[in-house]
């Protein structure tokens, strides 16, 4: 929801105590959950299911592909510099693949300077989650 937007702008009315429907910006996770729960549950096929049932029903409806043993080995292998360079080359130049707003052509142009830094970031993310 955009900053300062009315809860009503999203098609929902805040019926929770302490949350005026006048467009107050809400930060409380509890209040947000209470306001959006009915809407999220209508997305589920059950319509009136509780939040846990609603989430379970949604997840059960997804057909997830299982990785083969060979794929698991490949996914667990360390990331190599060559992989990062190849991935940078495959990106569409005008796209911005990350949250930093830098286009892919930046990554291509400065690949030699950033590959080691990216490698370190990815290795730490894999190690620490």
74-109 confidence digits (pLDDT tens): 888 888 999 999 998 898 888 888 777 888 888 889
**How many degrees, rounded to 5, is the angle at CA 35 between CA 29 and CA 38?**
125
Q: Residues 115-124: what's their mean pLDDT?
A: 91
Top pLDDT among 126 and 9 is at 126
| 18-47 pLDDT tens trace | 454 556 677 778 877 777 777 777 766 555
Q: Are 71 and 77 in contact (CB under 8 A)?
A: no
Note the residue count of the chain: 129
pTM given for the model: 0.46
Instruction: Give me the pLDDT at residue 101, please.
Output: 84
């Amino acid at each position: 929801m955009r900053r300062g937007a009315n809860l009503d702008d999203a098609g929902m009315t805040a019926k929770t105590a302490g949350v005026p429907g006048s467009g107050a910006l809400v930060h409380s996770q509890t209040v947000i959950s209470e306001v959006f729960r009915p809407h999220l549950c209508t997305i589920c096929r059950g319509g009136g299911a509780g939040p846990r049932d609603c989430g379970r029903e949604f997840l059960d409806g997804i057909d997830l592909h299982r990785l083969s043993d060979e794929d698991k080995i490949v996914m667990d292998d360390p990331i190599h510099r060559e992989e990062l360079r190849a991935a940078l080359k495959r990106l569409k130049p005008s796209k911005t693949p990350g949250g930093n707003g830098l286009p892919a052509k930046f990554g291509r142009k400065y690949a030699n300077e950033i590959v080691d830094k990216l490698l370190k970031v990815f290795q730490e993310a894999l190690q620490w989650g």
